[in-house]
Amino acid sequence: MEEWTFENADMSDTVMHKAKSYVDNWEEMKRNHIGCLFWGPVGTGKSFIAGCIANELLKQEVTVKMTNFNTIIDDIFPLADKTEYINALASYQLFIIDDLGVERN
């Protein structure tokens, strides 16, 4: 995932340009609680775009957690008190859930 950077991206792509703009305006996005949602068929670059955002913000020392929905469910399901786990996830400045609906039927 370290190679997922804007430097390795096709910046002529509209979505990549908007993703970079999100990073460039991070303080305003954070202040106004503005997030991003990328959707589309498998293999269209959604994870790559999210990874580019994550890696660029990590360079700026923003706390970032990128995980997937199945991992969250696997981690939280056995816990009697889920509050601590949820609070830990909420402590990140940017929280990315990848493949949110991948396991749906």
Q: How many CB atoms lie within 10 A of CB 10?
A: 10
For 5-32, how does the pLDDT look when each residue is reduced to its tens digit (9 = 90+)?
A: 998 888 888 999 999 999 999 999 999 9
Cα distance between residue 59 and residue 51, in whole Å: 12
Confidence of residue 105 (pLDDT cuts 50, 70, 90): very low
- The whole-angstrom separation of Cα 50 and Cα 14 is 14
pLDDT of the residue at 99: 81
> Rounded CA gap, 45 and 54, in Å?
14
pLDDT tens digits, residue range 31-83? 999 999 999 998 899 999 999 999 999 999 999 999 998 999 999 999 999 99
Is pTM beyond 0.75 here?
yes
